[in-house]
Amino acid sequence: MSKIVTLGEIMLRLSPMDKQRFVQADGFDVVYGGGEANVAVSLANYGHDAYFVSKLPKHEIGQAAVNSLRRFGVHTDFIVRGGERVGIYYLEHGASMRPSKVIYDRTDSAIALAEATEFDWDQIFKDAKWFHFSGITPAISKNGASITKAACIAAKKHGVMVSVDLNYRKKLWTPQEAQAVMRDLMQYVDVCIGNEEDAELTLGFKPGGDVTKGDLDHKGYEKIFAEMQKQFGFKYVATTLRESHSASDNGWSALIYDGKEFYYSKKYEIRIVDRVGGGDSFSGGLIHGLLTKKTQGEALEFAVAASALKHTIFGDYNLVDEKEVETLAKGDASGRVQR
């Protein structure tokens, strides 16, 4: 398997139990997670040498975040220790027609204040095959944007494939701020992953259809993907296609384009346990698929199956192995007890 590097912020996640609202809660479930950390866990589960790069405080909460990654086989050798705080986010789980809600408390976290010079990029990317980042890391601070660009430059210096999950977060920056940073970073990217909102707000591309009503215009995506590929030279452009029937039930499929052919995956109807990390599990599955499968179609089917399974697992991390994903991708969605 391959050495794969991801860069970003891992946070402490606090959520009310049993789908309670914030104002009802007198206790919180505690897990750790964050876009690129979630991708690293998925890839470690598939047998890769997954390395997560970040900065975390030396105190016990910082160590707990590091331990959560080590527990699932992610290498933490390149996590710089220092700073004062771990970012926090509060998650209120939605149900039926009530959407989930996130409140961030991440200002001045260790990685947000880190400097690009604190990281040994040559060691980080030595013998690496793939580098993955998201639009969240450059959004957290100007330092985050500088670190992301330094990592992209170093990855290309070492001949590493680069993927991005565009991941626009309106609570972190405006579309104008996002486009000023993200469009510049696209020169380093080989594989671009992003849903309809991400493509519009971070890169300025708008597909057709109203996805809030579950209306997905596939032809609109094909036009936008072709334009994105032409403008930025991506080797692949991919997106998940989420049909939000409610906060509890979604249709889930995906699309990929290699500059020649569009491929649509099969669609899953999902009863959601926890949708946070669904996109990250798709990214992890797609990276694994593109590294190990013969065709883009096979790679996409693996990614969609992996992310469908993630929606059934509590927490940010997708805790499934390759065999479980392959079983679903091959058509066994029965959910029967495995004895």
pLDDT in tens, 68-93: 999 999 999 999 999 999 999 999 99
Rounded to whole angstroms, what are the CA distances from 317 to 20, 30, 69, 145, 257?
A: 21, 13, 10, 24, 27
Best-predicted range by mean pLDDT (119-128, 226-235, 327-336)? 119-128
Q: What are the tokens at 288?
A: 């694994």
Q: Is the pTM of this model over 0.85?
A: yes
Q: Which domains does the chain have, with CATH numbers?
A: 3-329 (3.40.1190.20)
Under the phi-then-psi rule, with left for phi > 0, alpha for psi from -120 to 50, and beta for the rest, what region is 23? alpha
CA-CA distance, 120 to 324, in Å (whole number)? 36
Q: Which residues contact 244 (CB under 8 A, 6 or more apart)?
A: 211, 212, 214, 250
Backbone phi, then psi, for 176, in 5-degree steps? -65, -45
Catalytic residue among 280, 316, 321, 332: 280
> What is the pLDDT, as a whole number, of residue 220?
78
Whether 257 contacts 229, CB under 8 Å: yes
Instruction: Report helix, strand or coil for 262.
Output: strand
pLDDT in tens, 180-215: 999 999 999 999 999 878 989 999 987 555 544 445
Q: Distance of CA 329 to CAs 101, 226, 338, Å?
A: 31, 27, 17
pLDDT at 333: 64
The mean pLDDT value for 231-245 works out to: 93
CA gap 253, 102 in Å, rounded: 24
Percent of the chain residues topping a pLDDT of 90: 83
Mind listing the pLDDT tens digit for each residue in 8-49?
999 999 999 989 999 999 999 999 999 999 999 999 999 999
- For the question of residue 280 being annotated catalytic, the response is yes
